[in-house]
């Protein structure tokens, strides 16, 4: 009887259906070169007891270690704590069942963001409840973040941004849980893990320190707050400096080389507006549902000024830092991966929306949600850099607006893939002035939609089923979305 009740509760949980949706739309392979650095480092530790690796890219810009032809990865060592167990598991399964080790490890790693996404969404829901939303509305808004923003795309790829968001939300949730006497220890724990994952997050420490001081002054606990807050952060800092000294002979060198200084006010002037509204890399075009969050900011200030200060300070710090960097959008990605962690921070504006009794809030939210879901379905269905490859076919034109934006081009490609999974397209499907043949058959992962079940068919040479299975997955995705929103809809 208890087992039956537990199963019923599980099937009613939005987390169950979100997990199913994420598992269904995961890729089954590694999409970005950055991940390969961490994979090679994890394998080197397991197999050779060293962190030295062969350069992944022929255009390697990281310092080569004297006396070798190898490098140390510049990416955060925190990822290794995730990758080492997964690669060890892949090695074991490969040994037992004869699977190809690299393919198996890449397959498993393509799902690694999903548990972190669910943890981050739980933190998001609990924060909304602490800000005054009822449980049912908080569930609905959590589902909207998970599926109606760029968050979904980054859950089902091997970018680490969603894992970063999960740890950042853990720190914010720990801070807002003001009834917990040891909350600053938990803040320190989450922030230390976040910095181990990506060192640049040291930039968000000042607002936490400021709040620890002003709240401690009121309660005469300044030293206690700072001591708790410094606990895990101090250990993480010492660990990073020790690794830097052992690898590079300098506690301040983390492997990025000249990239650490590739920041300029000129880049900020170049990118500031584009980072907000560009259809190639803007914050709002890829998550238009965030626009309605702006309506709730005034009420959020009145509800909790210190919380509002925290999320605004973090958002502005991350935005200014990334917009001041030489990188255009963070490499091949959907939208702009550098500012993905800002998306759920802005979504906290939903905490004070009156979706159950305000006509404007409800209608505007519903319209933007449907529009956003269409964008996200296009994003999760395609290879991350697929449109970038196609866009090269039209780069010879002097008018920069001649080539469709990434959103428009991806939507056109999505429509084409509904009927054509060959990897060969007519250029006039994207730009009417062209009629030449675009052949992408050299890219194995470009055939059909970018779902792991589609790629499994390719592995077994069942290409004749690619279109049917891809379209069936899309139908199932839409069905799951409809089910989730029907169960979690806000009642007026």
Q: 331 falls in which pLDDT band (50, 70, 90)?
A: confident
Beta-carbon neighbour count of residue 114 at 10 Å?
18
| Phi, psi (rounded to 5 degrees) for 99 | -70, 155
> Average pLDDT of the chain?
90
Confidence band, pLDDT 50/70/90 cuts, at residue 326: confident
- Tell me how far apart the alpha carbons of residues 61 and 259 are, in angstroms, rounded to a whole number: 8
The predicted structure's pLDDT at residue 80: 94
What is the C-alpha to C-alpha distance for residues 245 and 72, in angstroms, rounded to an integer?
Answer: 12
Confidence at 288, pLDDT banded by 50, 70, 90: very high
**In this predicted structure, what is the pLDDT of residue 7?**
62
pLDDT of 400: 58
Query: What is the reported pLDDT for 1?
Result: 47
Which pLDDT tens digit goes with each residue over 102-148? 999 999 999 999 999 999 999 999 999 999 899 999 999 999 999 99
What's the Cα-to-Cα distance from 274 to each of 182, 269, 281, 327, rounded to whole Å?
41, 10, 7, 13
Look at 62 and 144; give whichever has higher pLDDT.
144
For residue 11, pLDDT beyond 60:
yes
Pick left, alpha or beta for residue 225 (phi over 0 → left; psi -120 to 50 → alpha; otherwise beta).
alpha
Mean pLDDT is lowest, of 149-163, 257-271, 477-491, for 257-271
| 46 Cα distance to chain centroid | 27
Phi, psi of 439, deg, nearest 5: -110, 110
**What percentage of the chain exceeds 90 in pLDDT?**
65
pLDDT band at 362 (very low <50, low <70, confident <90, very high): confident
Mean pLDDT of 426-441: 88
Q: According to the model, what pLDDT value does residue 66 have?
A: 74
Task: Point out the least confidently predicted range of 6-15, 24-33, 224-233.
Answer: 6-15
Contact 268, 338 (CB under 8 A): no
Contacts of residue 266, Cβ cutoff 8 Å, sequence gap at least 6: none
Q: Is the pLDDT of residue 74 over 90?
A: no
Left (φ > 0), alpha (ψ -120 to 50) or beta: where does 383 sit? beta
Q: Assign 3-class secondary structure to the chain.
A: CHHHHHHHHHHHCHHHHHHHHHHHHCCCCCCCHHHHHHHHHHHHHHHHCCCEECCCCCCCCCCECCCCCCEECCCCCHHHHHHHHHHHHHHHHHHHHCCCHHHHHHHHHCCCHHHHHHHHHHHHHHHHHHCCCCHHHHHHHHHHHHHHCCHHHHHCCCCCHHHHHHHHHHHHHHHHCCCCCCHHHHHHHHHHHHHHHCHHHHHHHHHHHHHHHHHHHHHCCHHHHHHHHHHHHHHHHHHHHHHHHHHHCCCCCCCCHHHHHCECHHHHHHHCCHHHHCCCCCHHHHCHHHHHHHHHHHHHHHHCHHHHHHHHHHHHHHHHHHHCECCCCCCCCCCCHHHCCHHHHHHHHHHHCCCCCCHHHHHHHHHHHHHHHHHHHHHHHCCCCHHHHHHHHHCCCCCHHHCCCHHHHHHHHHHHHCCCCCCEEEHHHCCCCCCCEEECCCCHHHCCCCCHHHHHHHHCCCHHHHHHHHHHHHHHHHHHHHHHHHHHCCCC
All residues at 6 or more sequence positions from 109 whose CB lies less than 8 Å from its CB, including other chains:
30, 35, 39, 83, 86, 87, 158
CA geometry: angle at 151 spanning 147 and 154, to 5°? 120
Q: Is the pLDDT of residue 363 over 80?
A: yes
For residue 424, list its beta bridge partners.
439
Q: How many angstroms separate the CA atoms of 430 and 402, rounded?
A: 10
Q: Out of 6-15, 272-281, 427-436, 446-455, pick the least confident.
A: 6-15
Contacts with 98 (C-beta within 8 Å, 6 or more apart), sequence order: none
Question: What local confidence, expressed as pLDDT, does residue 140 receive?
Answer: 95
**Can you tell me the mean pLDDT for 458-471?**
92
Tens of pLDDT, residues 208-229: 999 999 998 888 889 999 999 9
- Cα 447 to Cα 469: distance, rounded to the nearest angstrom: 12
Which pLDDT belongs to residue 4? 59
Q: Angle formed by the axes of helices 135-148 and 466-488, to 10°?
A: 160
Question: What pLDDT score does 409 carry?
Answer: 94
How far apart CA 104 and CA 336 sit, in angstroms, is 29
pLDDT given for residue 401 in this prediction: 61
Amino acid 396: pLDDT? 65
Q: Which of 127, 135, 205, 203 is nearest to 166 (CA)?
A: 127
Residue 432 has pLDDT above 90, yes or no: no
231-260 residue pLDDT tens: 999 999 999 999 989 888 888 777 666 555
Q: What pLDDT shows up at residue 61?
A: 67
For a pLDDT cut of 70, what percent of the chain falls above it? 95
Comparing CA positions, the residue from 123, 138, 263 lying closest to residue 200 is 263
Q: Is the pLDDT of residue 465 over 90?
A: yes
């Amino acid at each position: 009887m208890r087992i039956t009740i537990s199963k019923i509760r599980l099937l009613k949980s939005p987390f169950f259906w979100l997990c199913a949706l994420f598992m269904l739309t995961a890729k089954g392979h590694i999409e970005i070169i950055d991940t390969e650095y961490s994979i090679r480092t994890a394998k080197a530790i397991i197999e050779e007891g060293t962190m030295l690796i062969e350069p992944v890219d022929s255009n390697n810009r990281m310092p080569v270690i004297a006396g070798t032809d190898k490098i140390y990865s510049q990416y955060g060592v925190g990822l290794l704590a995730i990758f080492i167990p997964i690669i060890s598991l892949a090695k074991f399964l490969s040994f037992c069942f004869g699977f190809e080790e690299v393919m198996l490890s890449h397959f498993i790693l393509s799902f690694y963001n999903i548990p972190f996404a669910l943890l981050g969404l739980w933190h998001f829901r609990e924060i909304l409840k602490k800000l005054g939303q009822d449980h049912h509305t908080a569930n609905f808004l959590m589902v909207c973040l998970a599926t109606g923003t760029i968050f979904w795309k980054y859950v089902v790829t091997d970018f680490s941004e969603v894992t970063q968001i999960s740890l950042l939300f853990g720190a914010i949730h720990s801070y807002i849980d003001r009834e917990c006497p040891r909350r600053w220890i938990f803040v320190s724990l989450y922030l230390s893990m976040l910095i181990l994952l990506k060192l640049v997050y040291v930039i968000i420490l000042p607002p936490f320190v400021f709040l620890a001081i002003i709240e401690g002054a009121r309660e005469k606990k300044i030293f206690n707050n700072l001591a708790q807050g410094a606990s895990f952060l101090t250990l993480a800092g010492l660990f990073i400096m020790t690794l830097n000294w052992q690898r590079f002979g300098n506690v301040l060198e983390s492997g990025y080389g000249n990239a650490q200084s590739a920041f300029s006010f000129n880049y900020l002037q170049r990118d500031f507006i584009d980072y907000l509204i560009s259809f190639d890399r803007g914050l709002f075009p890829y998550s238009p549902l965030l626009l309605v969050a702006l309506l709730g900011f005034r009420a959020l200030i009145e509800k909790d000024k210190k919380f509002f200060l925290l999320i605004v300070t973090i958002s502005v710090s991350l935005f200014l830092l990334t917009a001041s960097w030489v990188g255009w959008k963070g490499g091949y990605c959907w939208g702009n991966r550098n500012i993905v962690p800002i998306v759920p921070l802005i979504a906290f504006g939903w905490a004070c929306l009156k979706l159950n009794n305000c006509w404007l809030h409800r209608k505007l939210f519903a319209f933007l949600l449907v529009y956003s879901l269409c964008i996200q379905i296009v994003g999760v269905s395609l290879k991350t850099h697929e449109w970038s490859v196609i866009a090269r076919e039209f780069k010879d034109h002097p008018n920069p607006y001649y080539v469709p934006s990434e959103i428009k081009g991806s939507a056109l490609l999505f429509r084409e893939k509904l009927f054509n999974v060959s990897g060969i397209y007519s250029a006039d499907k994207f730009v009417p002035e062209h009629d030449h043949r675009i052949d992408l058959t050299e890219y194995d992962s470009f055939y059909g939609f970018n779902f792991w079940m589609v790629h499994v068919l390719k592995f077994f040479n069942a290409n004749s089923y690619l279109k049917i299975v891809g379209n069936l997955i899309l139908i199932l995705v839409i069905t799951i979305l409809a089910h989730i929103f029907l169960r979690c809809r806000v009642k007026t």
